Amino acid sequence: MACNERLTERIRGYFKRRKGLEEKRMFGGLCFMVNDHMCCVVEKDRLMVRVMPDRYETLLSKPHAHEMDFTGKPLKGFLFVSEFGYRTAAGHRRMA
């Protein structure tokens, strides 16, 4: 399954004025890199986001956020956000 094109376009719009943005295919989806650092990934209908360490636990407690886990071990600093957490602009801002 390809990554969610609608979400991909929303992310592109969010970063459209940002310098240093690069898109790369990885994790079975499309990764958005800012200044050579992974920022977020659109993978199927999931959004993976990098979060600041001091916000990680707070954001993890949100109903549509889950630990990022590809290998059986969660990677701190990254979260998966299900569609209900990003389907509206307000939901997107709540995860910021």
State pTM to two decimals: 0.79
Where residue 42 falls among pLDDT bands split at 50, 70, 90?
very high
Segment 42-49 shows an average pLDDT of 88
Question: How many CB atoms within 10 Å of residue 65?
Answer: 21
Q: Which domain holds residue 63?
A: 5-94
The CATH code of the domain that includes 88 is 3.90.1150.30
Mind giving me the DSSP string for the chain? ----HHHHHHHHHHHTT-TTEEEEEETTEEEEEETTEEEEEEETTEEEEE--GGGHHHHHTSTTEEE--SSSS--TTEEEE-HHHHSSHHHHHHT-
Number of independent structural domains in the chain: 1
What percent of the chain is predicted at pLDDT more than 70? 90
